[in-house]
Chain A
Amino acid sequence: MRVSLKQRTPGQIEFGVIYGGIGLLALLAGRFLPVIGLLPACIFKGLTGLPCPTCGSTRSVVHLSHGAVSAALFTNPLAAAVFIAAALFFGYSVVTLLFHIPRLVFSLSEREKTRSRGIAAALVLANWIYLIVTL
């Protein structure tokens, strides 16, 4: 993996602002709206008694929005980690965009990309096993 600093190019899509913004909106919704009551219950869990791979994400976001980080990580570790990362990424992207600061760019080789795909799939699977055991 090669890490470098690059200046933003014109027309570049601001993934950090877009997806970090969506993450922050979800946190705001969790803080100020009764999202647990509004969203339908998991069909998979209703039918099988087992949690689906995304079960607990809403509760995790609600915990995070109230500042209960450990409770959020306990409810759904991967969802909590993703939302924390999104919030941090949002702040970083906004700062680099506003102040024209060069941003970190990670270049991966094909082998590293393949390894990353495997790690991502393993993380989702491990998170699901955790949910089955704990929820």
Chain B
Amino acid sequence: MRLGRRRFLAGLGAGLAASTVGLPPAHGAPGGTARRLVVFFTPNGTIHRQWRPSGGETDFRFPAGSILEPLAAQRERLVILDGLDFHGVSNHEGGMAAMLTGGGGPGHVGEGASIDQFVARHIGGASPFASLELGVLTSAWGGNVQTRMSYARQGEHLPNADRPADVHRRVFGAVVEPGAADDRLARRASILDLLQDEVADLRASAPRSEHAKLDAHLDALRRAETTLTSPGVAGCALDAPTLALDPGANDAFPAVGRAQMDLLVAALACGQTRVASLQWSHTVGPVVFSWLGIAEGHHSLSHFDDANTAGVDAFVRAERWFAEQFAYLLQRLEDQPDPESGGSLLDSTLVLWAQELGDGRLHECRSVPWVLAGGPMRGGRYLQLGGAPHQQVLTSVARALGVDTESYGDPSYGTGPLAELES
């Protein structure tokens, strides 16, 4: 019985411990299995010359002024992936669509879902939220192939939550006090039962063309049932974020991003989810880094030719700012104890900094700059991959999270994990 179980767990005050229930057995990647996955996205590609570390696999360093230099303090936790290709796709939209899905479709591992959703399906079931998709100014153009990166299945992208206050209300706003929560929970449960009956009836009378829509609605209601009957968040109270600006305003970008990172780390630490993503803007994103004194939109900056030194300098400063945000996220995860293992949250969380393009000037998906951090990966490495298919990294990510698979996405471009990550 739903409420009874919740009351039992809440009574124990054991929300976090209980959320390990249903975790698949650890296997796959050497060095242990990560228990959480975070995807961090920044748009519009890079300038390789300014992004690349110097040196070899283990003796690399970040040149002064280069894009990744702000990550120097976390060097030992990083695996820098240089020379990763999205085979068979190019351009903003193609890159965005293939980035986390590996170009998959029916019959492929993941069926076209993005890697975060695939992993969530395996390890997210017992958490209140299977996954959280957080965004920073991702929705001014609505949700579409350019503005979304998570897919439930082929062609079905998931929306981002762009407003920190709403994220807080959804994830941490549930009544915490055991006992006091019961009335509200009982109400919600009885309404959810009724709604599921209604949607099922409507589906029975609707033409086939509307079935997919109603199936997705039913899935959402079933998921809500899990959310509402999962262990509570006792001890995880978090103040609602306050922002001076509308979260859709250009100049709110840094504050929204910071608030979303804090919420994301808190949601992981409190066992509200095991899979979370943070998407900064979107491909072709026009954010103006006004706080750095830059006047052009980020997408325009990403097109400046090498001859335009002032333009390239502005782009590199913007990219370094993103690296600083990534460093902040890693630091927050490092500072947060893992309630399950005793180590830091970063020790048990695999973090992927994904991008959708290689050289932004060329609109190409070759040598797309990705970085892995944390979790069980052996860090402190700079890997030069010479055109390895990104499906292999997605496969490695799945395996690092304990999902035993030999491929991810479209296998015609490559199967198996990235060998370098297996050692």
* A and B interact physically: no
List chain A positions with a Cβ less than 8 A from chain B. Answer: none
